[in-house]
Amino acid sequence: MDVQKILSAVACVLVLSSCGNKKSSSSVFPENGALDSSACMGQAIQNKFIVQWEDGKFTVESAKDADEFTKKFIEPNLENIRYVEYDRHLQVEKTDEVRTTGFTDSWGQDKVSVRNVWAQGVYGQNVKVAVVDAYVDYTHPQIAPRIAINTGEIPNNGKDDDGNGVVDDYYGASFVSVPSNNQTPSSHGTHVAGIIAADSRYGSVEGMAPQAQIIPAQFIANDGGGSLGDAVLALQYSASRGAKIINASWGGAPCVASLRNTFQELQNKGILVVVAAGNDGRDIDVYPEFPASFNFSNQITVAASSVTDFMTSWSNSGFNFVHLAAPGERILSTVPGNTTAYMDGTSMAAPFVTGAAALLWSARPNATATQIKQAILQSVDVSAGHEFKVNTRGRLNVDRALQVLKQLVP
């Protein structure tokens, strides 16, 4: 299975450079007719297609099958189409949670020295952060003050008031194309959002950047399922709403051309993307996972550190593609229903770095994504006997990162 995943990933990435000079329906949609031999055939959605247009934008289209889509959609629009790929199912790893109320536990925040940054009046002010994930409970008392309200929309009137192609995105947007039968909201997105920006004035969770603004962009249904096309649309929406940072605490994309192209567009826009390394206990340099194994200049991939400041046994690693570690074990944060819960995972480690980046950007608004990344990676804590199997060998220290950034951007 691992060999299949590698071959699948390589084949899909090579598609990006395989087109000849003369554009045709087969050159923009090279998977058509070749899907049966693909190792990722099982994840393909046979009647949904991700389209990247020549202007860089993405849409997700439907048809009875690939032949009908080619004839009725690709051929009439060929001049304006850059690339087409089957949409694919994603299944996000489930994370156990232990619910609690009225309990404060900020060991992770203390470990990364965030209080020294807060003491300087730096709280993530004026920085928009997109949570591309599951449902974010925008009514939670610690999340509600931090939502980046879309003032161009009138809530719940069934109209696209601001003309951005999304109806009623006053509190954010959902791109879930196949809703789950499970009516209980997933806790994952709200937990991630709380680590980044929970407002400690209204509860026990201390968000890393408690004055940052959260843009909810849901693509994961309540059962943990989603699709590659839904993820692409959520990422694109986040950029359109002015996000400086996108948190992507998910993985498992089987064929990745459209996702890679999306990350390229985000890089072109100067948006920082923070990605969870994954929870399989594997080396993703050898056994790639996507998007974690991308290596864009605007991307930070995060492993999980334990309460005792060692690498957790289940965290993915890699000296090339994983950049640093951050707290990811026994993390207290917000969950739907005006309560809190403990959760474990690199999904929890990534938002620590996202929150750190929001703090840095609020302190130096003119910094680039590359400079924010450089400051974070150059400032990690590396302790003898506690080295992490990541590129920097270390764990996040946001106080030191701010000191580095001030030298990079006086």
- Domains of the chain by residue range: 2-88, 97-408
Give the catalytic positions in this structure. Answer: 133, 188, 347
Residues 5-54: pLDDT tens digits? Answer: 433 443 344 343 333 468 899 999 988 866 444 445 557 888 999 999 99
Contact call for residues 66 and 32 (beta carbons, < 8 A): yes
Q: Which of 77, 70, 72 is CA-nearest to residue 26? A: 70
Q: Residues 373, 378, 380, 385: is their CA dihedral positive or negative? A: positive
Residues 100-149: pLDDT tens digits? Answer: 766 679 999 999 999 999 999 999 999 999 999 999 999 999 999 999 99
Q: Which CATH number describes the domain made up of 97-408?
A: 3.40.50.200
For every one of its 410 residues, what pLDDT tens digit does the chain have, with 9 covering 90 and above? 343 343 344 334 434 333 346 889 999 998 886 644 444 555 788 899 999 999 999 999 999 999 999 999 999 999 999 999 999 888 777 677 788 766 679 999 999 999 999 999 999 999 999 999 999 999 999 999 999 999 999 999 999 999 999 999 999 999 999 888 888 899 999 999 999 999 999 999 999 999 999 999 999 999 888 999 999 999 999 999 999 999 999 987 766 789 999 999 999 999 999 999 999 999 999 999 999 999 999 999 999 999 999 999 999 999 999 999 999 999 999 999 999 999 999 999 999 999 999 999 999 999 999 999 999 999 999 999 999 999 999 999 999 999 999 999 99
Pick left, alpha or beta for residue 318 (phi over 0 → left; psi -120 to 50 → alpha; otherwise beta).
left
Write out the two tokens for 145: 């003050």
Q: Cα–Cα–Cα angle for 92, 97, 102, nearest 5°? A: 140
Cis peptide before 336 (omega within 30 of 0): no
CB atoms within 10 A of CB 327: 26
